[in-house]
Chain A
Amino acid sequence: MIVVEDLWKTFKLSRQQKRERGDGRGPSVIHAVAGISFTCQPGRIFSLLGPNGAGKTTALRLIATLLKPTKGSITVAGYDVRTQSQEVRRRLGFLTGTTKLYERLTPNELVRYYANLHGMERGAFDKRKEELFSILDMHDFANRRIGKLSSGMRQKVSIVRTMIHDPDILVFDEPTVGLDVITSKNIIELIRSCKEAGKTVIFSTHIMGEVSLLSDDLAIIYNGELRFKGTHEEFKQQMQTRSLEAEFIRLLEEPRK
């Protein structure tokens, strides 16, 4: 389970960033995440929806302990991200659509590397690797350098890298961005299978189609603040427009109360 409570992340702006945002006399800080709270339950998929720059990646990086919260708290599988970050990372699988792999290693070497970092025993690693390599049909290219693999093959390696330690919590940051239809489908299936295995899944996207395909719960984030939070059913019930896309835009444009 992931519990996020009154989470804030504030970044100081450099002089150049201030200039880029206006005449340079604006605020010297930016709230990438501004007081958001939500809970992701095991066996359910939570979608974090928002346009580019809304704060999705920052929120997920905070959950994955890559960034430290300015204020508020996050617990992942009962562990605090601030004080027990290593325990959090032991239970976490993190995948983004833009993440690359070590091109000079082979899939075998790369997966073994991450398994070692997770402190996996040899026997458990061999069994888990065999299972994942078979499901994803990876044996043929397991010993080829990653730099020589196609994007589809690389994505399979990324999936195994994320899942090798069988994490309870999975964080997917725009996992299908820039991928072809077939590879995207594989990712969607992976997310669904994680849900079926009772894992806690949170994924960010700006594609409404993915939300309707996968989400049990969803939150819409814009300028660091949540504009909606609830189940997929609740979202549909409160809709004032005909389509999901139109409703998404309406919520973003709605003035803050």
Chain B
Amino acid sequence: MKTTFTIFKKELIDSIRDRRTLMAMVVIPLVMFPLLISISSRVIMSHVKKAKEKTLEIGLLTNDNALDLREMLKGNDAVRLIEYITIEEGRSLVEQDSLDAFIVIDKGFDRDVAEQKQGKISMYYKSAEDRDIERDRVEEILEDYEEKLRSARFESLGLDEAIIQTVNLSKHNLASIKERVAGVIGGFLPYLFIIFCFTGSMYPAIDLAAGEKERGTLETLLTSPAGKFQILMGKFGVVVLTGILSAAISIVGLYIGIIQMKEIPAELLNSILGILEAESIVLLLTLLLPLTAFFAGILLSVSILAKSFKEAQSMLTPLMIVVIVPAFIGLMPGMELTPKTALIPILNVSLATKSIIAGNINGALLAEAYVSLFAIAGLSLYSCSRVFGNEKSVFREA
């Protein structure tokens, strides 16, 4: 134990003094969340503000109908009306992004409305997204106009508008704000924590195995009285620690990122910060611990097999995809922690983290995930000790 600790201590000092490890373990996780949150919120806010405040360019072809709509549009300060254009010209201007929308009133619109029929209005717009602020604004104007006509029609018929509302549906979402926030960011966070665990472990694993082999220091270490398993455990401990630290630092980064958001409403901010309560973080880290041990075993095994730092890097980079895929599956809607998914490493961490954040984790399923993760971590360490014990892999030279 003393020897393992001696090796652990030395490897930790050595790793902390390595700039690449420090970058992957501390700088990136600490800086990434604040940067990501800050940049994306600023970009989104500025885009929304611009779309809400801009003067809408609306083309209108009335065909001498719906003149009150024309007056409505003309009286709206946020609208610049472009008239006296043909359908083809209007469509072309929309396609060229010169118009936000082109409204065409049917030739028989006034007559149809007068005969209590449906008046036809066509709206041309260009939008590749479900949500489009400019389009929504034009639709709001048209809905106001429709509302005005409907009220007039009910009044002329001497009817109450409520007559057409056969069902009064009252919706009550009982999900807490915490659950709703978790639904939005709960899938995204474990994805990032898993990636940080992996990248945080990757550089120390390469440096402490392939790097040491390449530098010729491993041979000397193996001639010391330290046993191979003790050496491996010292290195393994450091790789696990750096992975966990990297994920923990990313939580600090996330906290910094959230509190620096000034535009966020206080209630929402408190809910998001509620996700980062001590109990959730401890649970999250206990899930990440066996996962990182699993990563460490694989990373060290591959790294010991590699002849050089570069070879280890090129062998381990594709492994990132193997990590990303199950973590990504956890992001998909409808994916939940079940007796089956709780057994799948990485995916179980992703889904369990989502539930922990939402505050609705099932104890039995969490226990199942732990069993699966500790089993896979043990297996990974065992295979790593086999590789490290094999003189052929240790002395595979460049």
Contacts and interface: CB of A to CB of B under 8 A. Distances in A.
Interface in B113-139: none
Contact of B217 (A89, A99, A119): A99
Nearest to A89: B225
Interface in B207-244: 215-217, 219-227
B386 interface: no
A113 B226 CA distance: 11
B3 interface: yes
Interface stretch (A42-50, A61-69, A181-189, A201-209): A61-69
A73 B13 CA distance: 39
B225 A105 contact: no
Contacts of B215: 100, 102-103
A98 interface: yes
A94 B219 CA distance: 9
Interface string A89-132: 11010101011111111000100011011110000000000000
Interface in B46-100: none
A95 B320 CA distance: 38
Contacts of B391: 66-68
B317 interface: no
Nearest to B221: A117
A12 B13 CA distance: 38
Contacts of A104: 13-14, 17-18
Nearest to B7: A117
A114 B217 contact: no
Given A94-B220, A105-B13, A67 B395 contact: yes
Contacts of A109: 10, 13
Contacts of A86: 225, 227
Contacts of A116: 3, 6
Contacts of A11: 392
Nearest to A110: B10
Given A89-B223, A92-B223, A98 B3 contact: no
B6 A66 contact: no
Interface residues of A, number: 30
Contacts of B6: 113, 116-117
Interface residues of B, number: 24
Given A100-B215, A104-B14, A104-B18, A161 B220 contact: yes
Given A100-B216, A101-B217, A104-B18, A65 B223 contact: yes
Chain B's interface: helix, strand, loop or mixed, by majority? helix
**Residue of A89, A102, A103, A105 most packed against chain B (CB within 10 A):** A102
Contacts of A89: 223-225
A105 B10 contact: yes
A31 to B, nearest CB: 16
Interface in B180-220: 215-217, 219-220
A175 B224 CA distance: 18
Contacts of B17: 104
A86 B223 CA distance: 9
A118 B225 contact: yes
A99 B13 contact: no
A201 to B, nearest CB: 15
B210 to A, nearest CB: 14
Contact of B219 (A96, A114, A161): A96
Interface string B5-20: 0110010011001100
A99 B216 contact: yes
B14 A90 contact: no
B1 to A, nearest CB: 13
A92 B219 CA distance: 13
Interface in B319-355: none
A104 to B, nearest CB: 4
Nearest to A85: B227
Nearest to A116: B6
A98 B215 CA distance: 9
Given A66-B395, A102-B14, A105-B10, A118 B224 contact: yes
Nearest to B231: A117
A83 B142 CA distance: 90
A90 B219 contact: no
A192 to B, nearest CB: 22
A114 B13 contact: no
B245 to A, nearest CB: 18
B395 A90 contact: no
A12 B392 CA distance: 9
Contact of A117 (B217, B225, B392): B225
Contacts of B227: 86
Nearest to A93: B223
12 contacts: A65-B222, A68-B391, A86-B225, A89-B225, A90-B225, A94-B223, A102-B215, A103-B215, A105-B10, A113-B6, A117-B3, A117-B224
Given A99-B216, A117-B224, 7 more contacts: A65-B222, A66-B391, A67-B391, A99-B217, A99-B220, A102-B10, A114-B224
Interface of A: 11-12, 61, 64-68, 86, 89-90, 92, 94, 96, 98-105, 109, 113-114, 116-119, 161
Shortest 7 CB-CB contacts between residues of A and residues of B: A104-B17, A94-B223, A117-B224, A100-B216, A116-B6, A100-B215, A89-B225
